[in-house]
A and B are shown apart, each in its own frame.
Chain A
Amino acid sequence: MACPNRSLPGIDPIRSAMLTVALLSSAISALPACNDPDAGTNDEDEDDDVSEGPDDGSTPSDRVRCEDKMVLDLGFVEGDPSTGIVTNASVDGGFASTIDATAGGLVNAASNPWIYMRFTDSGLQTVAIDDFEALNSTDWHIAAKRYEVRLNSGTGGPGAVTGAPLDGFSFEEVTEAPSDVTLVEESFYTDDCVLIDDGAGLGDPRYLLTPWWSYPGCVATTRLPFLIRPPEGDPLKFVVESYYGEDQTRCNEEGVMGTEPAQFLWRWTFLP
């Protein structure tokens, strides 16, 4: 079922596993999604918010630079879109979104696509496109695969989604878009299409959102908030709350690996 942009917030039930995130569990309220009378009642509805694309007049920019390199470096896969599920819960005027970015698991990730999504008034919606379609699509704002997260702009895609880290702030402290922050596009290739890696030693691109994680022996969340501006709407604040479905807090505090990796929990809120 398509669930296009809506003026009322729509919420899918958050999965029980995610309720273990104590930080959020008490703040979650469930609301039906997309005016579907059956929505929000079982897991089968969790991925119903599939966007067929916006009608916002946005058009792809010129061909994405370094496409061929990106296809190989980012492991693009043509075929079916990601089957990853996205759920949304309203939290403090924004959303807590869970994203299944497992891509078939660590070993199978090379043969599974990224999951593409867009921020809407009714929550984070999946965009049912494959990696190659994403090269020509402005429908999506953000994409994820395992621990990699990229925006649709610059070298990351044909869109105009910009962003910037909000150093020195906590997610909660940000109540409006700071005026002194320069928003930029993704830029993980040089002019000569040489990959700019993140310095972690694995050859991964330096995405704009890469600072969401650190590695003290597991994938820890830095809780660094980001400002993200989709081209057609208000900016939003964004933070990666957890990467592991379980035991993120222990990872952050003790460096012990959690379980259910790539089961993201993102918090984000449109800003005035």
Chain B
Amino acid sequence: MSTRVRAPQRGLRRYHHTRSELLLVGMGWLVAARSASAAPRPTEGGAYAFAAEDTVANWDVPSGAVRIHFSTDGPNRVRPIDDDSDGIPDDVIEAGETLLAALALYDELGFRALPVEETETLGGSTAVDVYLIDFGGSGDGHYGQDDCARAPCSGFLVIENDFLEGSYPTASEGIRTVVSHEAFHGVQSAYADLPVWVAEGTAVWAERIFDPSLGDFANQCDGYLADTGRTLYQPPSGPVAPFAYGTALWWDFLATRHDPSIIERLLIAIEAQGTEPRPELALSPLLEAEGDTLEDAWTTFVRWNLATGPRYGGAETHAFGRALMGIEATAEGPSVELDTRVFPLAASYFRLEHPGGPLWLAANADVVGLQFSLHALAPGATDGVVANPRATWAVTGAGRWPIVEEDAIPAGAYWIAATYPAVAEVAKQVRLCIGSAVVAEQCDVGDDGVELDEGASASDDDDGGCRVHGRSNDRIGLLVGAVVVVTARRRRRRVRVGIPRTSP
């Protein structure tokens, strides 16, 4: 069972939550979650139900596969618009036709069918039942299961009755968004009981597969970009989890990198894990079967995410990257010194205002497995459109290293993406310093730190330190170096801004 909570929207389509509405959003979810075992239909009571004052009717799509239950009068009444004068409110018809179209698409993509009941006990027919109910601002969709006479359980959809709260540009977009989303929850139920980050993330992804013009997908993805330092498979607990919905960005990335059918194979792999699935453990085998690796895919995903929102336009990224909010800087300044915790399948982004000259990295712990990339901005820009990585790095040990092997990085602003592209049980704790040689020298890296030696070459050290994969800058004849930083699970970081110096 899953209840869909709306994402605040941006720009002209922003949904203006009031405080009370936000409370209802959270607590409405709680109601649903706590009533999961009962799952009453709206005709029977529960958190989302028709009222005694409602005049309830129903309409079947011509094939009889879907039945829409709606109110023509009362607190849950649908909009009375009937442009084709067929006696059925247009929203009712659109809900039915949308569900049919969504289920047909999911079938075409190879997903299992949404489970349906075998008897006419529930909803009065064997059709998939959809109830149009006023959520009162606490959400706008819900998929519940209530017939487990055979596996998998079948269920029903509850969809907002009129979409008058302004969450979507039009009621039609609201219907298409929420019906396609909830229908996919029904499809999911044919496989396994999914963790919320997979359940909601793939359901939001399904919205986009169904109709790429729906704006909700990008809005939900912003929930992920706002918290990239969090492990993909560790959404926060609590009633509001935009992060979980926002993982749609990852699923869409995989479907784009390979094929949408990879999501179906994911669900099969999760099903095979049994009653307490850990989908993150299915990722590597899934990708390796495609000739890919989790490390490569995740690292690319992290870099694509950097080039979104205000940084869109100069690097490979999501096709809809411009519509996204963009990532937030984890830290910024001419140098960075952090005691940090590196989480798996998470990412951090640092904006370095480099004064020019060599750049060094110091780390006091073994941070094997971290991957980094350096992205240039336009000359003179302090932020904005980023370029494809000019260099990438993997760190293989503790110590101090000059990242720039020969000449210095030109003065200017740079973005650095840092990630730990693996599934792991624990984070790595490390003190990390990035900046001039002085910054590196003053960084306490403990006994593992090597003596500062500007002449040392990071790439010469195959047994430890950094592996640098830079490109020469033919135009100015300089090797572009990079800084190494790590991801951290922090919101407001203490960042020491060092005095830029180019020599110890």
- The interface of chain A, by Cβ under 8 A from chain B, is 68-69, 71-80, 105-107, 109-111, 132, 146, 148, 193, 195, 197, 200-205, 215, 217-219, 257, 259, 261
Q: Evaluate contact between A78 and B492: CB separation under 8 angstroms.
A: yes
Highest count of chain B CB atoms <10 Å: which of A75, A132, A195, A217: A75
Q: Evaluate contact between B31 and A217: CB separation under 8 angstroms.
A: yes
Residues of A within 8 A of B31 (CB): 215, 217
Tell whether B491 is near chain A: CB-to-CB under 8 Å: yes
Q: Evaluate contact between A68 and B426: CB separation under 8 angstroms.
A: yes
- Closest chain-B Cβ to A231's Cβ sits at a distance in Å of 27
Residues of B within 8 A of A105 (CB): 19, 22
Q: Evaluate contact between B33 and A107: CB separation under 8 angstroms.
A: no
The distance in angstroms between the C-alpha atoms of A132 and B32, with both chains bound, is 33
Q: Evaluate contact between B236 and A110: CB separation under 8 angstroms.
A: yes
Assuming the A-B contacts A68-B426, A80-B492, A257-B23, are A107 and B17 also in contact, with contact meaning beta carbons closer than 8 angstroms in the complex?
A: yes
Q: Evaluate contact between A107 and B22: CB separation under 8 angstroms.
A: yes
Q: Evaluate contact between A78 and B490: CB separation under 8 angstroms.
A: yes
Contact of A78 among B19, B239, B343, B491 (CB under 8 A): B491
Tell whether B112 is near chain A: CB-to-CB under 8 Å: no
Assuming the A-B contacts A105-B19, A107-B8, are A204 and B489 also in contact, with contact meaning beta carbons closer than 8 angstroms in the complex?
A: no
Q: Evaluate contact between B491 and A77: CB separation under 8 angstroms.
A: yes
Tell whether B29 is near chain A: CB-to-CB under 8 Å: yes
The distance in angstroms between the C-alpha atoms of A69 and B233, with both chains bound, is 11
Assuming the A-B contacts A106-B26, A205-B237, are A77 and B425 also in contact, with contact meaning beta carbons closer than 8 angstroms in the complex?
A: no
- Closest chain-A Cβ to B149's Cβ sits at a distance in Å of 24
Query: How many chain-B residues does the 8 Å CB contact rule pick out?
Result: 41
Contact of A68 among B8, B36, B236, B427 (CB under 8 A): B427
- Closest chain-B Cβ to A9's Cβ sits at a distance in Å of 35
Tell whether B34 is near chain A: CB-to-CB under 8 Å: yes
- Closest chain-A Cβ to B289's Cβ sits at a distance in Å of 28
Residues of B within 8 A of A111 (CB): 491-492
The distance in angstroms between the C-alpha atoms of A215 and B341, with both chains bound, is 35
Q: Evaluate contact between B231 and A79: CB separation under 8 angstroms.
A: no
Residues of B within 8 A of A107 (CB): 8, 17, 22, 240
Q: Evaluate contact between B238 and A202: CB separation under 8 angstroms.
A: yes
The 13 listed contacts between A and B (C-beta, < 8 Å) are A72-B231, A72-B234, A78-B490, A79-B493, A80-B492, A105-B22, A106-B23, A106-B25, A132-B490, A146-B238, A201-B32, A202-B29, A202-B237
The distance in angstroms between the C-alpha atoms of A183 and B234, with both chains bound, is 31
Tell whether B200 is near chain A: CB-to-CB under 8 Å: no
Q: Evaluate contact between A68 and B34: CB separation under 8 angstroms.
A: no
Residues of A within 8 A of B235 (CB): 203
Which 9 residue pairs of A and B lie closest in terms of their CB atoms, listed nearest first? A201-B33, A79-B492, A203-B237, A78-B490, A72-B234, A68-B427, A204-B237, A77-B491, A75-B236
Given A79-B493, A106-B23, A203-B237, 4 more A-B residue pairs with CB atoms under 8 Å apart are A71-B427, A75-B237, A106-B22, A109-B240
Tell whether B227 is near chain A: CB-to-CB under 8 Å: yes
The distance in angstroms between the C-alpha atoms of A109 and B491, with both chains bound, is 12
Q: Evaluate contact between B19 and A73: CB separation under 8 angstroms.
A: no
Highest count of chain B CB atoms <10 Å: which of A73, A105, A110, A219: A110
Q: Evaluate contact between B23 and A77: CB separation under 8 angstroms.
A: no
Highest count of chain B CB atoms <10 Å: which of A80, A107, A257: A107
Q: Give the residue name and chain of the B residue nearest to A200 (CB).
A: B34
Tell whether B315 is near chain A: CB-to-CB under 8 Å: no
Tell whether B30 is near chain A: CB-to-CB under 8 Å: yes
Residues of B within 8 A of A78 (CB): 488-494
- Closest chain-A Cβ to B142's Cβ sits at a distance in Å of 13
Q: Evaluate contact between B490 and A77: CB separation under 8 angstroms.
A: yes
Interface residues of B in 273-321 (CB under 8 A from A): none
Assuming the A-B contacts A72-B231, A72-B234, are A200 and B492 also in contact, with contact meaning beta carbons closer than 8 angstroms in the complex?
A: no
Q: Evaluate contact between A73 and B236: CB separation under 8 angstroms.
A: yes
Q: Evaluate contact between B20 and A259: CB separation under 8 angstroms.
A: yes
Q: Give the residue name and chain of the A residue nearest to B426 (CB).
A: A68
The distance in angstroms between the C-alpha atoms of A194 and B19, with both chains bound, is 34
Assuming the A-B contacts A68-B343, A200-B30, are A74 and B494 also in contact, with contact meaning beta carbons closer than 8 angstroms in the complex?
A: no
Tell whether B61 is near chain A: CB-to-CB under 8 Å: no
Residues of B within 8 A of A76 (CB): 489
Residues of A within 8 A of B494 (CB): 78-79
Tell whether B24 is near chain A: CB-to-CB under 8 Å: yes
Q: Evaluate contact between A106 and B425: CB separation under 8 angstroms.
A: no
Highest count of chain B CB atoms <10 Å: which of A132, A148, A201, A215: A201
Q: Evaluate contact between B239 and A202: CB separation under 8 angstroms.
A: yes
Tell whether B51 is near chain A: CB-to-CB under 8 Å: no
Q: Give the residue name and chain of the B residue nearest to A201 (CB).
A: B33
Interface residues of B in 7-58 (CB under 8 A from A): 8, 17, 19-20, 22-27, 29-34, 36
